Amino acid sequence: MENNTTQQVVHEVPIYAEPIFHIGNFQVTNSLITSWFAVLIIFIFSLVIRLNMKKIPGKLQHIFEVIMDGALGLVDQVTNDRKISEKIFPLVFSLFIFILVNNWLGLVPILGSFGFIAKEGATSVFVPFLRSGTADINTTLVLGIMIVLASNFFGILTIGLWKTFNKYVNLKGLGEMFTKVRHNPSILIVAPINFFVGLLELIGEIAKVASLSFRLFGNVFAGEVLLTSMSAIFAFVVPGPFLFLEVFVGLIQALIFALLATVYFTIASQDHGEHEEHEKKDEGKLISV
């Protein structure tokens, strides 16, 4: 007498990226493969546009030029300075495209259907070869750290190392306590407060990393869980509207990340000390009038 047992295969979306293979001690996950695939798609698309560049643009070139012009105009609305926009636009726009492609690749049903069966104890789990790179906290965390470091480096190049340093550790304000106390005794209170605010801004830089990385990861990961759950419950018909919703969410999240990066670059390039001096001069003129 034979006992035919069927083993059920579970398709879960774990919070961590699943390993696919190893290169020595280096673990290659499905989200990393998707990120490589996204870079390859962007490279091929950019190469096709570059090789077909003409003075009289074709349809593809014209569409791309309209998108670029609209994106640059959107950056201008944040920076209010075309020179700054032109400096940060290549990085911000590239970041937007990379995140967008990663978000959308994780939603392609065909790509997510290829994988292998891995055994976890008595349960067999389906592991897809491809998973959205932005659904991995490691990817979004690296992107967040990169933006914060790059924005501060941009600030150093724009306003100088000393002024950027004084945004966080206001040694200049503490020094003015001894030079301006006779003319302005209130500086004994204002200077320590400004020094403390600078330290809060330093903590805020760390908070920016968490804000950028967890917002993007949380929205993309939640979308994958939602689609997987709806597909398991209602099969093929109902997940359609949710799929279109996640396409829209992927676009919005890429746009938010790029705009926040633009804001951080803009803030880093501004000299708060000059603004304060201008305000003091304006106040002096009003008083004299």
pLDDT at position 199: 79
Q: Is residue 285 part of a domain?
A: no
Q: Is residue 279 part of a domain?
A: no
Burial class (CB in 10 A: 0-12, 13-18, 19+), 13: middle
Number of Cβ within 10 Å of residue 136's Cβ equals 26
Q: Is residue 24 part of a domain?
A: yes
Q: Which of 192, 194, 204, 199 is nearest to 168 (CA)?
A: 199
**Number of separate domains in the chain:** 1
pLDDT at position 266: 93
Q: Is residue 281 part of a domain?
A: no
Q: Is the pTM of this model over 0.85?
A: no
* Confidence category of residue 287, pLDDT binned at 50, 70, 90: very low
Which tens digit of pLDDT belongs to each residue from 266-278?
A: 999 887 655 454 4
- What radius of gyration do the chain's Cα atoms show? 26
Q: Is residue 72 part of a domain?
A: yes
Q: Is residue 288 part of a domain?
A: no
Q: Is residue 28 part of a domain?
A: yes
Q: Is residue 282 part of a domain?
A: no
Q: Domain range for residue 83?
A: 9-272
Which tens digit of pLDDT belongs to each residue from 150-196?
A: 999 999 999 888 888 888 877 776 766 666 766 777 767 776 777 77
CB distance 143 to 215 below 8 Å: no
The percentage of the chain sitting over the pLDDT mark of 70, rounded to a whole number, equals: 74
